[in-house]
A and B are shown apart, each in its own frame.
Chain A
Amino acid sequence: MRVRLRFFASFRDQMGSPERWVDLEEGTNLRDLTSSMGQHHPFLVSGLVAINGRYLDAGTIIRDGDEVAFFPPVSGG
């Protein structure tokens, strides 16, 4: 299944791109994806993750066409 990854702020700078499409196996959850991404980009593990614009549990199963966003701790206000 195809999933869109998005990166914001300093994570986008470090990734060198605002987004990327990846192929994942059925049944992959958020924890699996974060762990897998963290192997090549360890900084991603220290940030926040959202699926389709919502903070969800790490055990949430990712679905085909989902948008998963990785970003650093927020600093608005």
Chain B
Amino acid sequence: MGTVKITRDDFSIDKVCREIQTPGTGGIVTFLGVVRGEEGERRTTSMKVESYVEMAERELGSLREKAIDQYGLEDMSIIHRVGTLSAGENIVMISAAGPHREECFDAARFIIDEIKRAVPIWKKEISSEGERWVEGEH
């Protein structure tokens, strides 16, 4: 059974994928977001991630239900981490299980785009140049 979670803990990609696999599943698409360590000349050592947890979990739950319905998925899990994460560590995982690949790719894309648009989570980058809040795209 799929889940939605804001957590400090890391996750097992394999375990999450297995949890959403059903007899009707023909494919699972996973988007994995990680802390980027380099961007041009800037070296990021870590990322502080914070969230308005109660609201973010509710928003993610609604998005999960919408995606399952809209794309005809078998199941879906969305996990976003908070806390201080080092370069290379996992930040977010979105896994979509469906009968065929198209709906899984589309659903995973829909969710990551919505996370970046409206789910109350923020990142503060700690780099060689100091600390800065990452600006939202919208």
A residues near B (Cβ < 8 Å) are 6, 8-10, 48, 50, 53-55, 69, 71-77
Contact = CB atoms under 8 A, between A and B. Distances in A.
A6 B118 CA distance: 17
A72 B137 CA distance: 11
Contacts of B56: 76
Interface residues of B, number: 29
Contacts of B134: 75
Interface of B: 33, 49-52, 54-56, 58, 80, 91-92, 112, 115-124, 133-138
Nearest to A50: B55
Nearest to B91: A77
Chain B CB count within 10 A is highest, among A8, A53, A72, A77, for A77
Nearest to B57: A53
15 contacts: A10-B122, A53-B52, A71-B122, A72-B122, A73-B137, A74-B115, A74-B120, A75-B123, A75-B135, A75-B136, A76-B49, A76-B119, A77-B80, A77-B116, A77-B121
A9 B58 CA distance: 19
Residue among A6, A8, A76 with the highest chain B CB neighbour number at 10 A: A76
B55 A54 contact: yes
B103 to A, nearest CB: 21
Nearest to B80: A76
Contacts of B138: 73-74
Per CB-CB distance, the 8 closest pairs between chain A and chain B, nearest first, are: A73-B136, A76-B121, A53-B55, A9-B122, A75-B134, A77-B115, A10-B133, A75-B136
A32 B110 CA distance: 34
